[in-house]
Structure 1
Amino acid sequence: MDNSKKGNFPLQEEEIAQLSKQFTGVWMVGLLKNDPAVALAKVKIPVLAINGKNDVQVISSINLLTIENSLKKAGNKNVTIKEYDNFNHLFQESKNGLPNEYSEIKQTFSPEVLEDVKSWILEVTGN
């Protein structure tokens, strides 16, 4: 494709139209309008909140801080927050975290994260 005629924008008009439909659809609009802090403020049970720093779909620092603050507001003191360096949205060890990298990574889910989740469950349940 000759990008010089399109201002170096790599998407075709049809692709832009499809993306526009996806981002303005009922599901996506509902997702974007949702404020999880409202629901989190009601949670009284133990919580493990984890994110990868390379996650480009959910900004880990903002997400984890919001979760922590919302749970504290509810008086929930049994909260564990962990941010993993070099992990993407799928908890795969990644270079840049971009979705096009997902299928290139052999690892389906980090054994480190899986072990942490297992240990947290065992600790919380007293096993």
Structure 2
Amino acid sequence: MNYSRTLKGTLLALALSATFPAMADDNWQTCKEKQQQIEKQLQYARANNNQKQINRLNTQKANILQNCSNENLRQKYTQKLDKLTNKINETQRKLDKAQAKGDSNKITDLQNKLNENKANLQQAKQNFARFEQAAKQ
């Protein structure tokens, strides 16, 4: 077994994994920011002569250039906000039901879940505001 090659591959995967979260749909990037992120990854892949990575990134870049629009992203992000709001409403409904029954274990669990969902919604709203600001530029 070639440990040198395995180690090199692992290190490359770790280095690239640090950049991939920025590609996630939940990252609230504009189309321009997505293109810039792919360009950075392409530079790194070229520097490491990783043709498979270069090909994949070029495909992603072409897809973004052809299909990405900030209006579509805005709609997608608005849907995410709606989904989080619905989760909060559903959890609140379950919490109210548990409180009516006096189920203390369920109340604690649901209250924690409700707090987590509210924090996620607040973060999503902040991210959406950042997206809107970046999309204006």
The TM-score with structure 2 as length reference comes to 0.26
Larger Rg: 1 or 2? Answer: 2
Looking at secondary structure, tell me which structure has more strand per residue.
1
The TM-score with structure 1 as length reference comes to 0.28
Looking at secondary structure, tell me which structure has more helix per residue.
2
